[in-house]
Structure 1
């Protein structure tokens, strides 16, 4: 028997792998995640040949490694990294076979992780599945595309056979892609996660499922019909709450007319409908996880943490990391206005790598809706860190002298102090402009130039000293 979550007693179907490992699964999840199984479950089923068989067993051609990998991608649990390229290839083949859109995208993302270590084998896998995007990605890792574009006039020729019955004609990179795979990833969320997208219009597969057996009533009195099996698998907290005897009296209302008519249970939550809709969409096993509007990420994440929904937390963290990297000021204002204190502090320190004037002059939409307090405290924090960094004693260059006088040392120290005052970060020492000015100031003195390695090593030391100095500056977390 497979490991959790494929060993649950309430499972209503067993998938038996080619190496005879039984996966106890739930039909409701497979029906939502896979068009193949949705169609299969609608077909007439033969009765069991023996009366003692309590659950149907379906033999599949995939081994346990591939089956475990692709099923975990469909279940509302944390996905594990694809361990090997072979398992990733088998999992992608299974996802395509069973028409699992979400698993297809996650398999593609996982396979791209092998580009650095096994680019040629990844390229062969991409050609096998006619995936132009993955093939280009693998080729770029070895700079093959650059060589072929400059060294040959013809395009990039695919020579591996396709998995279809017939052999497709040779194609080049100039031809339009014909892959049936979509270009989705969870490591790099779509651009829409950095825009003002909304969860006001959720997909119908989540909110209008006719087989929903649980209705979540939000604080704004909106009803969200869901499948109880998916909710309980996604959240151990909600699973416990739904099983408590006192929860039945407090939250469930089996006497409701709508409940009697549709055979549904009612469960009330203190969160609003937009927050719960966004959270449920992330955990839903059908399709690619939707991109949540950035202004909702902190609120939904805190609710996901409350209910211990690890998969939702992981997906939201990936979107947040992208936002914090590309638009740190916007991320800071969102975190601060939502009471997300730890993330606000981390983003405030990340903003130290930007100039004070750049932060002050940058406009983002959140400035219109965020109270002035967090923004004002960010500027004060940046200024305080700048003062602390400028006081770091840059005297390590005085450990040696030169017959030319080495006047460039004083100029270089002044530049460092000025730069640290407005950008108190170790990234100052990685500035190419500063390095070019340093070489220019050294002039033609061979003795000074021979000390360049020593100067660069002192930069690393200065960088650590600056980080230590700014770390001592306290950010007003309690007032965020």
Structure 2
């Protein structure tokens, strides 16, 4: 039998008519009228229970209804303090508590909690801007994330670098948000008006082009894919016993046994989400993907490669879906198909490989990305990876370039963001624009640059073979 603890005063009163039970089994004696006035969520809950005559679990001797909540007792205590007419604490809440209250305030739609927690959050922006940025991104608060990023921009370069080293506070922030923060700082805040930190904003021109392409695909592809799949020989030899319905309502024939063996997730949804038919026809499984994706998913389930007309975007999308559905055999097939893309799309393959624990592919992709200098370019796969994965790649690139500069210039203390004396001399040979473009001067300059490039290429290759991501 579970044991419960009574909350401290004033949430231990005998006149309470509802008990909120925290996740750590602490009982808070509350009043429905107070909760209902402060929160539309609780107001609807209590009115629905009265209307439906729904019975609550009861653990109190006098039959007081109990409402279990997911918040622990510390968060719940601070939340309730803001609802009741009690003296409010004069000290600021900790950042972690402010974040927890913000999340709870939004969940229960309690305005006073959201406002108080937001005020506490923003009052910490000068002392801990990166932590505020992390919390804002986690709660999809773009305005607050922008304010934190702007404060980082106003700091001295040294102070900013010190703050950015506290990457551990970003451990639950997407690599995409971290990439946008770095882009914002590198651009010194000069970004488009619709620039967002919490999600990637596609430019309007790109949206138009993409929308046109998608509309064409939605009209032409699904019917063609369905026809190809339905006319496969093995459905004539072994009739279907299940239909897979795509998000756009296309029905694909399949076999329960094949789907169950291909995916543990499919095995589960076949048991829990299959809709029995009334007329003896095959049951239906609903999937949230479009027909063009479902077609490739089913091909992988049956041990077939994806469509020949799939491009890199399709392959990366399919890998993410296969991972979601826990399709182990399909993932190995897709892993082999992805390997040739490492040199051409290293950043995308790095994030996918890192997310799935494909260490060899992640290492090779990191090497290619570091050499190509593409680590600061946004790719969609950043949204499924966390900041530490991206941070290790950025540090890896800095490390190998530091070593390469050191070897190439014989300057032991050269930092990656500075050029050695030798490099300064080479760059100083560039003729001024006012020199009339003397051919001899330009020839000397480009010869010097070519020499430097050759030196750097050689040393970079040697350093790439010696350094590993995260080392």
Fold match by TM threshold 0.5: no
More RCO (CA 8 Å, sep 6+): 1
Q: TM-score, normalised by structure 2?
A: 0.35
Q: TM-score, normalised by structure 1?
A: 0.35
